[in-house]
Structure 1
Amino acid sequence: MDELIDLLRNTRQSVFRLETLSSYTAAGEAELLRAFEAGLPLPPRGPDTDPWLRMVADSVRDGTSWSRVHVLDRPLSDYLRFELLGYQGNIAAGEDVRIAERATHPEALNAMTRDFWLLDEALAVVIEYDHDGRRLTMEPTNKVSSFVGQRDIAMRYSVPLLDYLPLVQHEIRRSW
């Protein structure tokens, strides 16, 4: 992860993230996810409270665009409901967070099953996960044309998070 952070800090034009899983397992989120599932309020998350989001905000301030698309299926998993609310911190840091539902454009989105980062359209970092959503590997490659194409398709068939949230408010079981 430190290597990825170094790559992100050295990116000057654009950072794109494609997410495709309905659940991720990250040690740093376990306690927050349990609190969310128990109906407890989540702590504020933004550049002033989260070092990752501070890095994003500083990078955006310096002129790098950050965007991500989460290609997902409904009904939403507990993790996705948690993540959709958490993404608001990413927006506060200046990231363009978007959602694409596979069912709305299956011909374009069903093939998107691998997560990756795309940095300055020059380097992709492909991420492999186990069946529980635990990160196994991150492999960089400079063969980026297929990743640029996937980014373009994901962006075309996605909507901004803040437009998507009202559509799934009843599934999230929380107000924001």
Structure 2
Amino acid sequence: MPEILPFEHISHLFEEFEHTAWRLETRRGYAVDLGTERFERFLRGEELPFDATNPWHANVRRQTGLGKRFERVRLVDDPLTAGQRFLLISGLGNVEAGEDIRNLNRTTAAKLGLPDFDYWLFDSRTMVKFHFDDTDHTLGVEVIEDPAQVLGACQARDAAWHHAIPTVDFAARVPSAV
């Protein structure tokens, strides 16, 4: 049985990584977004402006200013779920802060044999695997440094990145994000 830690236990990795923080997002939506003011504004069709004071954005700017990379690939369905449309629109702020987010159709991901779980990969050495319940609530994370598992995550990263579409280009293809 893996040791499941609260997400807060690994938050230091987002500042301490040396060159790359990379994420694979596989969920059709995340419970953490539901019911938030931003999600409700999104559902009403209101704009979600970039917030330069957002702590995530500030850290992304700081780290990318040091030459580090923040990247992620989001698996998406056709048509997009409400959660995926929200992430597409709200993710534009992450992109503006310096994060390179790309989107990959779930069918393509399956053909590539990508994992069906979310994870962060830090410096191609440490994988942080998310654990969720059936309602998309995060139960915690598992820190994995086993070379074989990390190598598999690196290979999945490379395949996903090669086939994924940058968020700005992908957003332009979606008829309406709301």
Using the size of structure 2 for normalisation, the TM-score is 0.88
Contact 2:120 2:128 in 1 (8 A): yes
Does the Cα contact within 8 Å between 2:103 and 2:167 map onto a contact in 1? yes
Higher relative contact order (CA 8 A, sep 6+): 2
SS at match of 1:32: helix
CA–CA separation in structure 2 for the residues paired with 1:105 and 1:8: 26
Q: Which amino acid aligns with 2:177?
A: I
Indicate conservation of the 8 Å contact 1:23/1:132, yes or no: no
* Counterpart in the other structure of 2:132: 129
Q: Verify the 8 A CA contact 2:109 2:160 in the aligned structure 1.
A: no
Corresponding position of 1:155:
161
Larger mean CA deviation between 13-22 and 1-10 belongs to: 1-10
**1:62-101 superposed matches below 5 A:** 62-101=66-105
Rounded Cα–Cα distance in structure 1 between residues aligned with 2:14 and 2:138: 18
Quote the Cα distance in structure 2 between the aligned partners of 1:50 and 1:117. 20
- Between the two proteins, the alignment pairs up a number of residues equal to 169
SS at match of 1:60: helix
Unaligned segments of structure 2, at least 5 residues: 1-6
Quote the Cα distance in structure 2 between the aligned partners of 1:21 and 1:56. Answer: 22
Specify the SS of the correspondent of 1:139.
Answer: strand
Structure 2: how far apart are the matches of 1:140 and 1:167?
A: 36
Q: Tell me, which stretches of 5 or more residues in structure 1 are unaligned?
A: none
Q: Which amino acid aligns with 2:96?
A: A
Q: Which of 8, 14, 17 matches 2:14?
A: 8
* Greater displacement, 50-59 / 100-109: 100-109
CA RMSD in angstroms comes to 1.7
Residues 29 and 142 of structure 1: CA distance in aligned 2, closer, same or farther (over 3 Å): farther
Shift of 1:2: 2.5
How far apart, in 2, do the equivalents of 1:117 and 1:105 lie?
17
Match of 1:41 in 2: 47
Dislocated runs of 4+, deviation >4 Å: none
Work out whether residues 126 and 139 of structure 1, in 8 Å CA contact, stay in contact via their aligned partners in 2.
yes
